[in-house]
Structure 1
Amino acid sequence: MKPEDLPGKSMGAVQARDKETWLALFEDDAVVEDPVGGHPMLDPEGKGQRGKEAIGKFYDLFSSSGATMNFEIHHLVGCGTEAACLVTMTSTMPDGTSHAQKLLNVYKMSPAGKIASLRSFWN
């Protein structure tokens, strides 16, 4: 696996609402900062989610709204063990309303080919 493979696999699992497949992409001690710097609901302390248990709870939190999430990758660059991509995420709520958000995601791959860290920049 190459670092450039991680964004599509990660976002594909979220889009499919497949928590187990998404979690399996991460190292046991991985860190997710989504968004970097924190968020009042998702990460009030701004420290990110550390370890699979915390990452799983984060998944439950962001998926609890019932929204579907679709991703469009506009640009993807891999360098060394990392990949960065510019993405539009469109969330559609159960009532049909939707919201598009631009993201810059940076994935770091572990020696085992899993996600060691995911940093998502958005506001």
Structure 2
Amino acid sequence: MSDEHPARAAGLASQAAVRARDKQAWVALFAENGTVEDPIGPSGFDPAGAGHHGKQAIAAFWDKTIAQTDLIEFRFDDSFACGNEVAFTGTIRSTIGGHRIDADGVFTYRVDDDGKIVALRAFWEVDRAMATARPVD
């Protein structure tokens, strides 16, 4: 996978910031009016299913989700870049409270002309991911 495509580069930078536990770097990747839908639709992270809009809401999403994990691993099989978007396919593995959870899905990033993320959308099923919960080995 080449990281030269602007959306792919932004997606890889987002993943690197999460792995590094660097909230400030992660939020800085987003456009002022950026949106995070992770997962898309209603969930415990977003009961209304409207997404998290703007940097302040995106930072709050970090605090509610990413900051609560002990470790997040991106196990992506491939990515497909088209126009100003990229879709990564594979699994995000989260370790939290002594348990691992795998979220299989499609994870998309759309960027603006400056390479800032305007939309991060995660297609994964909460119930399916929760069914993978198991103690850390």
Q: Is the TM-score greater than 0.5?
A: yes
Counterpart-to-counterpart distance in 2, 1:32 and 1:115? 9
Match of 1:120 among 114, 119, 122: 122
Partner of residue 23, structure 1: 27
Is 2:75 aligned against 1:72?
yes
Equivalent position SS for 1:6? helix
- Counting aligned pairs with the same residue, the percent is 35
Equivalent position SS for 1:3? helix
Is 2:36 aligned against 1:32?
yes
Counterpart-to-counterpart distance in 2, 1:112 and 1:34? 23
Is 2:10 aligned against 1:10?
no
Closer/same/farther in 2, CA of residues 118 and 66 from structure 1, 3 Å limit: closer
Match of 1:47 among 35, 47, 50: 50
CA contact (8 A) 2:69 2:94 kept: no
The higher-RCO structure (CA 8 Å, 6+ apart) is: 1
TM-score (norm 2): 0.83
Number of residue pairs matched by the alignment: 121
- CA offsets 1:52-74 (integer angstroms, 9 cap, x no match): 00000000000343431111121
Counterpart-to-counterpart distance in 2, 1:66 and 1:11? 14
Closer/same/farther in 2, CA of residues 82 and 66 from structure 1, 3 Å limit: closer
Q: Higher mean Cα deviation, 68-77 or 48-57? A: 68-77
The one-letter amino acid paired with 2:27 is L
Structure 1 residue runs of 4 or more that deviate by more than 4 Å after TM superposition = none
Partner of residue 91, structure 1: 94
**Greater helix content:** 2
Counterpart-to-counterpart distance in 1, 2:23 and 2:61? 11
CA RMSD of superposed structures (Å):
1.3
Runs of 5+ in structure 2 lacking a partner? 126-137
TM-score (norm 1): 0.91
- CA offsets 1:75-116 (integer angstroms, 9 cap, x no match): 101001111110311111243x21211121111111111101
